[in-house]
A and B are shown apart, each in its own frame.
Chain A
């Protein structure tokens, strides 16, 4: 029953990151990063949605349960959301979720939300690179299946 932490030296050379991005600003920013041939690591699996507010907390949790090492959400800057207020809702929803994830033992390094405009290709590449670098220093995310171990 002791909840002491294990020392985990192992690193993760190849973290999997699920990237949820909205079709508008942040999607355009990501596109621009590609067409400008900016370098960023290939560890992200992008899933494009119409607006960041389309992403339900359950999608994020299920990404982890399916084996993601990290989840990154990008949306338009405040004021720029194609649907006006979607990203405000995303902000609140994901702020509460990130608190919850921390409570259930998911390192905050594994879950990020950031705003990218259509011209911010460099910011996009930088954000992805920074997150991949951080996750390389953490061990692969392992969910420890629950249920009834006895002392």
Chain B
């Protein structure tokens, strides 16, 4: 069996995606039997020139994780595309823009001012912000530029396969390994555009019991939770869970631990916009009986329990959402 040439490249990443691959534990040995690493700078001693010096198409499978935040991220993605027969977007950041894409929300201040000047933990009396180039004693030092937005990988290159998750969970990575095995022995690959995860919703995978009629009175923030019923669906307990609109495939990792799903596998194919769907679903389930004698002010209090709908319902998917297209900076005054 011919070994597969594999490259793992990265953009704006927390490297959690790399760690997730190492989490395969002993199964990683199978990976080493199966592939020749042509590029994986996080785990081995590779430099970008090692990727550049490969022949076009020499890499069989190129995996990219992280979002496209800097000009260098975009450049590396383009190089990976050129060198690889197939490219896999790996992790929520590469699939949807992920958490970094939340910084694309319009805001009255520039991101650098917030990050390098305003945050309380910053001590920067001279107000220095990163520059793309500076000359010190006649030598020019350069840094990659920051793009206006942090985007999903498909904003800059064509993608063949998607593996969502923040980071992709071991069961999904095992599926990727299976795909690689089939590819190595038969040369067969799944159809282009395949999402390597489930097609059903997380609720179908989650073992919690769903009562006949689900309703709840109030959104409960995690810090207010007194006691969680370990078997009952979290929504009737008032805990926000993105399960109804989220793709299955993680084996309900979070809900098993009494934590509401945050939606890291992204929406299912049938859902056009992850967050809007969840807003619609959750507000339909909010109990109304009690409200009939509530004042408008009290009604407001209920929704004020969600102070940050963008961060709550689009934690991982803002960069690929319908509402991302609404984004208008002119309106921020």
Which residues does chain A contribute within 8 Å of B134, judged by CB atoms? none
Interface size class of A (residues with CB under 8 A): 35 or more
- Say yes or no: A61 contacts B306, CB within 8 Å: no
Q: Mark A121-150, 1 if CB is under 8 A from B, else 0.
A: 000000000000000000101111111111
B333 located at the interface, meaning its Cβ lies under 8 Å from any Cβ of chain A in the complex: yes
Chain A nearest CB, measured from B331 CB (Å): 4
- Pick from A53, A104, A146, A151 the residue with the most CB of B within 10 Å: A104
Q: Least Cβ distance of B97 to chain A in Å? A: 10
The answer to whether the Cβ of B2 comes within 8 Å of any Cβ in the partner chain is no
Partner of A89, one of B74, B106, B110, B288: B288
Stretch at the interface among A13-21, A22-30, A39-47, A95-103: A95-103
- Are A100 and B273 CB-contacts (below 8 A) given A1-B146, A1-B148? no
Task: In the complex, identify which listed stretch (B188-196, B228-236, B252-260, B321-329) lies at the interface while the others stay far away.
Answer: B321-329
Known contacts A148-B74, A149-B149, A150-B74, A143 near B279 by CB under 8 Å: no
Q: How far is the CB of A54 from chain B (nearest CB, A)?
A: 11
Docked Cα-Cα span, A149 to B330, in Å, equals 17
Q: Do B273 and A58 touch (CB < 8 A)? A: yes
- The answer to whether the Cβ of A32 comes within 8 Å of any Cβ in the partner chain is no
A1 near B328 with CB under 8 A, answer no
> What is the count of residue pairs linking A and B with beta-carbon distances less than 8 angstroms?
161
Q: Would you call B151 an interface residue if the criterion is a C-beta within 8 Å of the partner chain's C-beta atoms?
A: yes
Set of chain B residues within 8 Å of A34, measured between Cβ atoms: none
* Segment among B51-59, B164-172, B296-304 that sits at the interface with chain A: B296-304
Residues of B within 8 A of A145 (CB): 325
**Chain B residues closer than 8 Å to A144, beta-carbon distance:** 327-330
Give the residues in chain A near B333, CB-CB below 8 Å: 5, 107
Question: A150 and B71 in contact (CB under 8 A), knowing A64-B326, A91-B299, A100-B310?
Answer: yes
Q: Are A142 and B330 in contact (CB under 8 A)?
A: yes
B147/A1 in contact, CB under 8 A: yes
Expressed in whole angstroms, the minimum distance between the Cβ of B69 and any Cβ of chain A is 10
Measured in the bound complex, the distance between the Cα atoms of B329 and A4 in whole Å is 8
Residues A150 and B148 in contact, CB atoms below 8 Å apart? yes
Question: When A105-B326, A106-B326, A106-B331 are in contact, do A96 and B303 touch as well, CB less than 8 Å?
Answer: yes
Choose one: B283, B296, B325; the contact of A93 (CB below 8 Å): B283
Asked if residues B291 and A88 are in contact (CB atoms below 8 Å), the reply is yes
Q: How far is the CB of B307 from chain A (nearest CB, A)?
A: 8
Once A3-B108, A88-B288, A89-B288 are accepted as A-B contacts, the answer to whether A106 and B328 lie under 8 Å apart by CB is: yes
- Asked if A148 and B151 sit within 8 Å, CB to CB, the answer is yes
The reply on B332 being an interface residue by CB < 8 A is: yes
Q: Is A65 an interface residue (CB 8 A)?
A: yes
B110 contact from A2, A61, A96, Cβ within 8 A = A2
Taking CB atoms, residues of chain B closer than 8 Å to A6 are: 329-330
Docked-complex contact B288 and A85, CB < 8 angstroms: yes
Q: Which residues of A contact B15 (CB under 8 A)?
A: none
Contact A92 B280 (CB under 8 A): no
For A103, the closest partner residue in chain B by CB is B310
Provide the A59-89 mask, 1 if CB < 8 A to any CB of B, else 0: 0011011000000000000110000110011
Residues of A within 8 A of B (CB): 1-6, 8, 53, 56-58, 61-62, 64-65, 78-79, 84-85, 88-89, 91-93, 95-97, 99-101, 103-107, 139, 141-151
List the 6 shortest-distance A-B pairs measured between CB atoms, nearest first. A105-B106, A85-B288, A93-B283, A100-B309, A95-B303, A57-B276
Question: Can you report 26 A-B residue pairs in the complex whose CB atoms are below 8 A from each other?
Answer: A1-B111, A5-B332, A6-B329, A57-B276, A58-B273, A78-B292, A85-B288, A85-B292, A88-B291, A89-B283, A93-B284, A100-B279, A100-B310, A100-B313, A104-B105, A104-B106, A105-B106, A105-B327, A105-B329, A143-B325, A143-B327, A146-B104, A149-B148, A149-B149, A150-B74, A150-B147
